[in-house]
Amino acid sequence: MISHYLQRNGIPTTTISLIREHTEITRQPRALWVPFPLGRPLGVADDPDFQRDVLRSALRLLDTATKPVIEDYPHDAPDGGGDGVWSCSIMLPEPEVSDLEAAIRGEVDLLTPWYEEARRRRGRTTVGISGVKPEEIDKVVSFIVAIAEGSGFQQIPVSAEGPNWRHPLPMLVRFAVEDLRAFYQEAVTSQEGTKPPSQHDMHSWIFNRTTLGRAIMAIGHQIADNEDRRLMTMRGLMIPEGFWEGEVSWGELPPGMDRLSFIKSSRAYLAGEEAEAR
Amino acid sequence: MVRLDDLHPEEAAGMRAAVSRFGYIDQEATPWITPPPLSESTICLVTSAALHRRDDVPFRFGDSGYRLIPDDIDPNDLVQSQVSVNFDRTHYQRDMNVVLPIDRLHELRYAGEIGGVSALHFSVQGASPDASTFEAAAADMANRMKELGVDAALLVPV
């Protein structure tokens, strides 16, 4: 919708579209639909020629279109979307839940050399969404384990004090999970020349092959047991559909509510605004 | 990929519900604007990936504001406060340009295919339950773009 608002304020726009049905309904001024997975609007990492061709195709509409248009990009991503071609070449122990903290710290220790190699080679890391520095990843482990073991969603566990956490609770839990996932994912994609995992490959590995996945599921159970049903929105944002024990990750919606109205009703609470207002 | 039928049925249902609410937009109210020729146009990026600098104010859940990303940003200074779990992050984790193609824009400028690259780019948090909340931010972004000499914007979703 932003394309409409920008044009109404005098800025011409062209848009890359990932979901064709959305673009057909919203009728943005100029759109290039690309047949790539969500999260990959330029197609594929580390392929400047391919990315440049996508970019050029989207920009060219500024020169050629004379009325609202949806053009289809003719090429699939070079990796074909990538489903099923990846397997993790770093051997981790079997996931276990008897001592979550020790098991996750063991995984982090095994992954650290690979993470550091990826960080050195790429010159960057995406760890830090929650506010932690990459060097403070041990505090993220403490935080996630404490939440998984029932410390609640109202205050920072004592064991996780120290970092400059930059999101309020409860949503901080979701970002801490993402930070630890980023650490794991950057580590296991560090090897050059290997096929990158698809989104589904990555979810499958995290939730089926790592103790981190077991901890995220334990947080999902803590949410299910919590009196405040609004936390279910956060579970739906943390555990992908298809990975929550055969049921819908978002859980059963309150009577009379659809998912969007449920998200809206829980937004201020999850963003910490209700707690701040008190 | 990606048609809604390719996604998990629950995920697709949520996205269909979201888009069904887009009907309120009066598309006739959006004027057609012809920009200068591309080879003379300065381009800026608008990403919905909730990217921001590490020391910037993070996007909160449902945040309808925007953040500025300097064109010469150190890629290590970018983090992503996007809440959805239903999109691929691994390619972005390997290469910023798969989501925010700043380096590719400069290559097109160097080749003379575009006229220039904006000194600042713009970031919003997509996956909002109500896209109309972006109306005020977009008006402000448009004013900033004019101050920057931007001739056209490329919107990049995730």
H/E segment holding residue A13: strand A13-17
Q: How far is B90 from chain A (nearest CA, A)?
A: 7
ipTM of the complex: 0.94
Beta strands in A27-176 (DSSP E): 30-33, 69-72
Average pLDDT over residues A27-32: 93
Q: How much of chain B exceeds pLDDT 90, in percent?
A: 68
Close Cβ partners of B59 (under 8 Å, ≥ 6 residues apart): B50, B52, B65, B67, B81, B82, B125
Q: Is B66 on the interface with A (CB under 8 A)?
A: no
Helical segments of A87-166, H only: 100-122, 137-148
pLDDT of res. A141: 98
Question: Searching chain B, which residue's CA lies closest to the CA of residue A248?
Answer: B10
Residue B143 pLDDT greater than 80, yes or no: yes
Mutate to test the interface with A, among B51, B91, B140 (most CBs of A within 10 A): B91
Average pLDDT over residues A224-250: 92
**Tens-place pLDDT, residues B25-45:** 677 789 999 999 999 999 999
pLDDT of res. A222: 97
Residue B34 and residue A12: Cβ atoms within 8 Å? yes
Average pLDDT over residues A47-68: 97
Residue A260 and residue B90: Cβ atoms within 8 Å? no
Q: So where are chain B's domains?
A: 28-156
Q: Is A59 on the interface with B (CB under 8 A)?
A: yes
Question: Searching chain B, which residue's CA lies closest to the CA of residue A235?
Answer: B85
pLDDT of res. B23: 59
Q: Is A3 on the interface with B (CB under 8 A)?
A: yes
Q: Is A100 on the interface with B (CB under 8 A)?
A: no
Q: Which of A19, A51, A200, A26 is nearest to B2 (CA)?
A: A19
Q: How much of chain A exceeds pLDDT 90, in percent?
A: 76
Q: Kindly report the number of other CB atoms within 10 A of residue A32's CB atom.
A: 24
pLDDT of res. B72: 98
Q: Is B110 on the interface with A (CB under 8 A)?
A: no
Chain A partners within 8 Å of B112 (Cβ): none
Query: Which whole-number Å values give the CA distances from A215 to A13, A143, A163, A166, A180, in the listed order?
Result: 43, 11, 21, 22, 11
Residue B96 pLDDT greater than 90, yes or no: yes
Residue A38 and residue B23: Cβ atoms within 8 Å? no
Q: Is A175 on the interface with B (CB under 8 A)?
A: yes
Residue B18 pLDDT greater than 70, yes or no: no
Chain B partners within 8 Å of A15 (Cβ): 154-157
Checking phi first, is residue A112 left (phi over 0); if not, alpha (psi -120 to 50) or beta?
Answer: alpha
Q: Is A2 on the interface with B (CB under 8 A)?
A: yes
Residue A6 and residue B13: Cβ atoms within 8 Å? no
CB A177, CB A210: distance < 8 Å: no
Residue A79 pLDDT greater than 90, yes or no: no
- Strand A13-17 to strand A30-33: parallel, antiparallel, or no bridges (unpaired)? parallel
Using CB atoms, pick whichever of B58, B91, B141 lies closest to residue A40: B91
Using CB atoms, pick whichever of A8, A166, A258 lies closest to residue B58: A166
**Tens-place pLDDT, residues B60-86:** 998 999 999 999 999 999 999 888 888
Using CB atoms, pick whichever of A26, A185, A239 lies closest to residue B90: A185
Q: Is A72 on the interface with B (CB under 8 A)?
A: no
Question: Searching chain B, which residue's CA lies closest to the CA of residue A234?
Answer: B83
Average pLDDT over residues A206-225: 97
